[in-house]
Structure 1
């Protein structure tokens, strides 16, 4: 799934606090957003392996959530929401496409690396690829209620995030061809520093 979808999911995870603990909503929204984004910081360094932990994040999130419930504070609520966002991101990537540059071709059986099991989890392709129409629909289904529920800067974040989702989904199918051309112009000694999915198509 595309990064904006994960970011919106991270925001949505903080939604219940609007009702049960509004004093922590702000920190939870920020932490949830950051947690939803965090795993994809490994995009150019072992994508879906270096910072994706589909087994460990959820366990840590449950423990952090228990601590936050027992001793609620900005720190404990923020940590719990961050780990929830990162955990949901890591798990949900299994339900998308594989790691290949053109995931709609379904040539890769690598979705997310599970460090606990020591192997790659296969993509389920419920959403065929990042930026697919189904992915954009999921983003919209999250953005609309968030837009209604939130105010001020957070509402602006929702609008901007969904705007990025629309833009990415619009150009997603042409990005691999653009990448092929750009990588082809990169000097050979430098290509070894690029992710394999780019180099293999050049």
Structure 2
């Protein structure tokens, strides 16, 4: 789920603290934004339009190297933003698929690999977004952050954990709510807008 990705990006950015402590705040913000960025494609080709598990990972190497060799706000931000986006794209493989009810494990699509031109199958090591194991992962990632970061980023971490708790609590109810909303709203949408309704909702 999104809070897990945000916290993972920030946790990875903690590695900047011993190397360039003066840019630790920049790295944390970059990790947060990079961890969230891929999911901006939620309603436009989710896990394909902005998810690049191979290309982000390749790009992260020179950008992090540049941040290490020439530490500055711009290089540190770029390095940790790309690295967090790569982490997000890769770790989505270890969750559930793209189906509306991922606990049913009916989808063979986790993340699209643009380099290979194919969908990578979900491993389901973390169950699905909003599963108890996902919440446990969020809480685990939050611990070193809460012990390290200062205001206002510590509040961001606490809000992320709170959102994760609420999302996990209602996760299995959301498909039913979504089904009903789609049934009511879709017939009233202009024809050119309907294709933007994610297939997993239209298929249902």
Fold-level match, TM-score > 0.5? yes
Partner SS, residue 112 of structure 2 = strand
How far does residue 66 in structure 1 lie from its aligned partner after superposition? 1.1
2:203 equivalent in structure 1? 200
Deviations 1:90-137 (A, max 9, x none): 000000000000000011000000000000000000011100000000
Counterpart Cα distance in 2 of 1:80 and 1:28: 8
2:4 equivalent in structure 1? 5
Counterpart Cα distance in 1 of 2:21 and 2:137: 26
Partner SS, residue 44 of structure 2 = coil
Are residue 108 (structure 1) and residue 107 (structure 2) matched?
Answer: yes
TM-score (norm 1): 0.97
How far does residue 193 in structure 1 lie from its aligned partner after superposition? 2.9
**Alignment check: 8 A CA contact 2:20 2:71 kept:** no
Q: Could you list the runs of 5+ residues in structure 2 that have no partner in the other structure?
A: none
Counterpart Cα distance in 2 of 1:118 and 1:16: 33
2:140 equivalent in structure 1? 141
How far does residue 47 in structure 1 lie from its aligned partner after superposition? 0.0
Taking the TM superposition and a 5 Å limit, the aligned residue runs for 1:80-91 are 80-91=79-90
Change beyond 3 A, Cα 1:18–1:70 = closer
Counterpart Cα distance in 1 of 2:119 and 2:89: 12
Q: How many residues align?
A: 200
Counterpart Cα distance in 2 of 1:103 and 1:84: 27
Q: Could you list the runs of 5+ residues in structure 1 that have no partner in the other structure?
A: none
Q: Which portions of structure 1, spanning 4 or more consecutive aligned residues, are displaced by more than 4 angstroms?
A: none
How far does residue 188 in structure 1 lie from its aligned partner after superposition? 2.5
Counterpart Cα distance in 1 of 2:8 and 2:144: 11
How far does residue 13 in structure 1 lie from its aligned partner after superposition? 1.1
Partner SS, residue 149 of structure 1 = coil
Aligned-residue CA RMSD in angstroms?
1.0
1:125 equivalent in structure 2? 124
Change beyond 3 A, Cα 1:184–1:78 = same
Counterpart Cα distance in 1 of 2:83 and 2:36: 11
Deviations 1:148-188 (A, max 9, x none): 11111011110011111111111000000000111110243
Counterpart Cα distance in 1 of 2:95 and 2:186: 33
